[in-house]
Structure 1
Amino acid sequence: MPNETSRREFLRLSALATAASVVGACTSASQTVPGGTSRVASRAAGGRVTPGTVLFQGDSITDVGRNKTNAAANATPALGGGYPLLVAAGVLRDVPDPAWRFFNRGISGNRVPDLQARWDADTIALKPDVLSILIGVNDYWHMRNGRYNGTLADYESQYAALLAATRTALPSTRLVIMEPFVLVTGSVDASWHPDFDARRAAARRVADRAGATWVALQEPLDAAAARTGPAYWLGDGVHPTPAGHALIAELWRKAVGI
């Protein structure tokens, strides 16, 4: 008879195949944020996760074909086909409560200035308890192909300003900053480094200064790519495959603790 560990792994993989979940409940501690404490708390010593509003923001890696005419919370078309859907599905299964409200407002092609231009309507107005942001690859990629002239300093200062404005408007919102990532395959070659790595470091500095939860992604993706090859996780070096989205969702839930 399979042991308990094997049974759990089978159930986890089965859930991923149906896009119902990525991981079981996570147990990492919550992070106190400047200006207040989020209503969405982490599970601690048998404690209960308090449901609330979770908003995902970013570019195409977050967008993943979401239906932008559907603004409903917890709606599969509105969440898109990537890690936001998998995070939402897992939490809704593990901590069932109608108070959960998951939203995805990622837009393909966005850079930090694009977020700034739509921030009031697409973020502040939703008053999330947890705000998750993944942004940065286009700030570099579009610069490489001549479609944008933003510098590393621009990326860091604009990102910091965005978070500072968010803290002012939403002092109790828990900020979650996801690490920008790439793998050398498809559209990404070795010439992306070390410049792209500098963007990753800038995002970490911005997160630390804002007191945000940091979701490390590059190192886990590097380790996964070493086992199977990079295209298994990021088909073109930038955009995750289903396996890549599942890994990102798992890492997000572990870091955030819900």
Structure 2
Amino acid sequence: MTHLRRSRNCATAVALLMAMACAQAQPPVAVNPLLLKPVDQVTPDEVRGMQQRLSDWPNLARYREANARVPAKQAGVPRVLFYGDSITQLWGEKDPAQFFPGKGYLNRGISGQTTPQMLLRFRQDVIALQPDVVLILAGTNDIAGNTGPSTQAMIEDNLHAMVELARAHGIRVVLASVLPVSEYRWMPGIEPAPKVRALNAALKQYADTQGLVYLDYYSAMANAAGGLDPALAADGVHPTAKGYALMSPLAEQAIAQALKATPPGKH
């Protein structure tokens, strides 16, 4: 009996050590520091910022007026909508003429947004505009913890929900990989590169299973560290003009492929 107890204790100790080692090996979960800040240390400006965000958490106001000005669709002219966060918003924001010249593509990116915010505004900023194709690029801000901790499963659930909503309304979907990133300057030390790779692998598998077009930005842009070289993203996250120039033809190819497919619900 003594020998048996020792064996059980040894097995328990080994299991505990393995669990601890596994936990230590996992990259830390990111959480916006403001969400963890003691209440008595929050500044008035930070309180005002949080109040403003909570008053319109998905930021429906950002494109409400612009959406109302979108002209009616023209027969034979496909409508394509880019949907995402700052990586999408900044694509041609300073010079809209550089955002796929002559194509008339719509840009509905909002800086800092996470997938739950994007899901909440999906009906207003995507479905209501009746695009033929929506190109979804999202997830990096979830990994960075912008609106709280997010697991990969949570990110996938939100993206799957967007895809399902689009397809239920006859919209073809291009699902883009998350761009490479080895560090967020506003959230250092969380080791995002392996999380990005794991999420992209899951998105690729989902796209293949669902018959979606998967847009692989990652393979064309990642460096040895799983991040972006300064030439492609000066801050390691947001593409430079050269970065967007690399992304543009990949996006065009994916859009062309999606437009060849039969719209969902019309088989």
Is TM > 0.5 for Structure 1 vs Structure 2? yes
Give the corresponding residue for 1:51.
77
Give the corresponding residue for 2:62.
none
Amino acid corresponding to residue 136 of structure 2 in structure 1:
I
Give the corresponding residue for 1:182.
180
Which of 65, 76, 80 aligns to 2:93? It is 80
Would the alpha carbon gap of residues 148 and 167 (structure 1) be closer, same or farther in structure 2, given more than 3 Å must change?
same
How many percent identity over aligned positions?
31
Would the alpha carbon gap of residues 85 and 113 (structure 1) be closer, same or farther in structure 2, given more than 3 Å must change?
farther
Shift of 1:185: 6.3
Q: Does 1:165 align with 2:168?
A: no
Amino acid corresponding to residue 241 of structure 1 in structure 2:
T
The equivalences for 1:229-248 within 5 A come to 230-248=229-247
Shift of 1:190: 8.5
Give the corresponding residue for 1:219.
219
In structure 2, the gaps of 5 or more residues are: 1-72, 258-267
Give the corresponding residue for 1:255.
254
C-alpha distance in 1 between matches for 2:128 and 2:150: 28
Which structure carries more relative contact order (alpha carbon 8 Å, separation 6+)? 1
Instruction: Spell out, residue by residue over 1:35-80, the C-alpha distance to the aligned partner (whole angstroms, 9 max, x if none).
Output: xxxx9xxxxxxxxxx5311111000000118xxxxxxxxxxxxx52
C-alpha RMSD of the superposition? 3.0
C-alpha distance in 2 between matches for 1:200 and 1:175: 16
Give the corresponding residue for 1:5.
none
In structure 1, the gaps of 5 or more residues are: 1-38, 40-49, 66-78, 93-99
Would the alpha carbon gap of residues 124 and 81 (structure 1) be closer, same or farther in structure 2, given more than 3 Å must change?
same
Quick check: 1:52–1:101 contact (8 Å CA) kept in 2? no
The count of residues paired between Structure 1 and Structure 2 equals 180
Shift of 1:162: 1.8
Helix, strand or coil for the counterpart of 2:105?
strand
Q: Does 1:123 align with 2:126?
A: yes
C-alpha distance in 2 between matches for 1:253 and 1:86: 14
C-alpha distance in 2 between matches for 1:177 and 1:81: 25
Q: TM-score, normalised by structure 1?
A: 0.61
Shift of 1:206: 3.2
Quick check: 2:181–2:192 contact (8 Å CA) kept in 1? no
Q: Does 1:138 align with 2:141?
A: yes
